[in-house]
Amino acid sequence: MNYLFTSESVSEGHPDKVADQISDALLDEFLAYDPNSKVACETLVTTGQVVLAGEVKSSAYVDLMEVTRRVINRIGYTRSEYKFDGDSCGVFSAIHEQSADINRGVEREDVMNQGAGDQGMMFGYASNETDNYMPISLDLSHLLLIELAAIRREGKQMTYLRPDSKSQVTIEYNENHVPVRVHTIVVSTQHDDFITPADNTVASQAKADEEMLQVIYNDVKNILIPRVINQLPERVKALFDDKLILHVNPTGKFVIGGPHGDTGLTGRKIIVDTYGGKGAHGGGAFSGKDPSKVDRSAAYAARHIAKNMVAAGVADEMLVQISYAIGVAKPVSVYVNTYGKSKVEMSDVQIAGMIDKIFDLRPKAIEERLKLRNPIYEETAAYGHMGRKPQIVVKTFSSKYIPQPIQREVELFTWEKLDYVDTIKKAFGL
């Protein structure tokens, strides 16, 4: 019997994602000027206010307010009517120095024996149901919002759009766990109050709201979704049919949004950040954490492993778990689940043993292999940390405390590279 599976995504203007992006922008600033910075910063955003908190050990001095305001304005909160904008919101900082008790467990005389910054378990997942080895429900959810933000920034169509939005995609699978169609799409987008009621009566307001909703529904159906479909490979395009169920702004109106409509916090969208509910999650958030925190670096390493293993043909689907003890370099355990889709004559336990031999999973080794001590994190903080395109970019950092801007060439999303496929094939005799 066929079954349904659903994933959601949220836009860069969603309050929790605003918080994530501020935290990661601050992390990038510290790493740009001092690559050895230890950072764990959290952000709270609400009506007209940003609160920064956390622990930092760094030789760099960062203008926290300037970075915070830049991020908010980049996202699109630039109008006072949003009740939250980059130029006028308050910014309160409660960031202080990192605990010496934590630091002593991490730093070592031999840097390669650097201890894990915390205990915990991290998961990586990959499936061959999409070209980027991601669950198709999450991949489509991200694409809808990336394209919606592109339309908003172009300013030519759907000119009523505001930054806050959410999406949700339900996929129908057959008994063999193969996607057969896109079943339901939900899009909720913040918008201007762009139709004025004829008078102040409840009936006139309801009529204006209904007319606005119809415009937004038609635009999502006739502008947004076709633009997304045009970007898809043929095998995914084939999943769309005339039976698609579409819900747009199901509450009927979404004018009040962003941090004014809902308080945002760093780390509250960990499933959006990873696999949309597929695989598993260890519970640790990513944003605002430097790579000594294995919550982040080991989750990236686990994704890198799972993706390369599936791409190499070891399995059609794979979940990898890595667990650590705080202050200890080597993992406590490595676990693999291929969901019965292994393509090699080995048990999942044996595959896990091979992974432990192929990949050095000490935190410092992960940092070096994936080039994680670079300012690469602001780009990860919206539309998912996994399934993204690896690329080399030049980033410029400027500060009123340093005479000249600095430029750093960095590689984004290194954990998405398929650079271990040949090594894995050789190890497994594929």
Residue 42 annotated in ligand binding: yes
Say what the pLDDT of residue 384 is.
97
Rounded to an integer, what distance in angstroms lies between the CA atom of residue 103 and that of residue 89? 34
> What pTM was computed for the model?
0.94
87 labelled ligand-binding: no
348 labeled binding residue? no
**Confidence (pLDDT) at 237:** 96
Pull the structure tokens for residue 234.
Answer: 């043929």
Q: How far apart are CA 208 and CA 219, in angstroms?
A: 17
Do 301 and 375 belong to one domain? yes
Report whether 269 belongs to an annotated binding site. yes
Please indicate if the annotation marks 254 as binding a ligand: yes
* Start-to-end CA span in the chain (Å): 34
User: How far apart (Å, rounded) are the C-alpha atoms in residues 153 and 374?
Assistant: 28
In a domain, 50, yes or no: yes
Among residues 222, 257, 292, which one ends one of the domains?
Answer: 257
In a domain, 105, yes or no: no
Does residue 423 contact residue 355 with C-beta atoms inside 8 Å? no
166: annotated binding-site residue?
Answer: yes
Ranges in the chain, pLDDT < 50: none
Structure tokens at 334: 């490595």
188 is in an annotated binding site: no
pLDDT tens-digit series, residues 100-142 = 555 555 555 556 667 677 788 999 999 999 999 999 999 999 9
- Annotated binding-site residue? 368: no
Dihedral sign computed on CA atoms, order 376, 380, 385, 389: negative
Residues 303 and 381 in one domain: yes
| Host domain of residue 396 | 120-127+275-428
Domain count, the chain: 3
Q: Is 129 annotated as a binding residue?
A: no
Q: Are residues 293 and 386 located together in one domain of the fold?
A: yes
Calculate the dihedral angle through the C-alpha atoms of 389, 393, 397, 403, rounding to the nearest 10 degrees. Answer: 170
DSSP conformation class of 41: E
Task: Spell out the alpha helix ranges (H) of 200-347.
Answer: 202-219, 225-230, 234-237, 258-261, 270-273, 294-312
**Same domain for 309 and 230:** no
40 beta partners: 55, 289
Contacts of 184 (CB under 8 A, 6+ apart): 6, 168, 169, 170, 244, 245, 246, 247
Determine if residue 14 is labeled as part of a ligand binding site: yes
Q: Residues 286, 418: one domain?
A: yes
Residue pair 349/133 in contact by the 8 Å Cβ criterion: no
Query: Is residue 282 domain-shared with residue 239, that is, in the same domain?
Result: no
The whole-angstrom separation of Cα 138 and Cα 160 is 26
Cα 132 → chain centroid: 15
Residue 16 annotated as part of some ligand binding site: yes
Per the domain annotation, does 265 fall within a domain?
A: no
Say whether 98 counts as a known binding-site residue. Answer: yes
Confirm if 169 and 7 have CB atoms less than 8 A apart: yes
What CATH number does the domain containing 404 carry? 3.30.300.10
Is the same domain home to 338 and 230?
no
Report which of 45, 7, 1, 49 is spatially closest to residue 23, judged by C-alpha positions: 45
User: What pLDDT, on a 0 to 100 scale, did the predictor assign at position 213?
Assistant: 94
Same domain, 74 and 150: no
Cβ 189 vs Cβ 254: under 8 Å: yes
Residue 279 belongs to some domain of the structure: yes
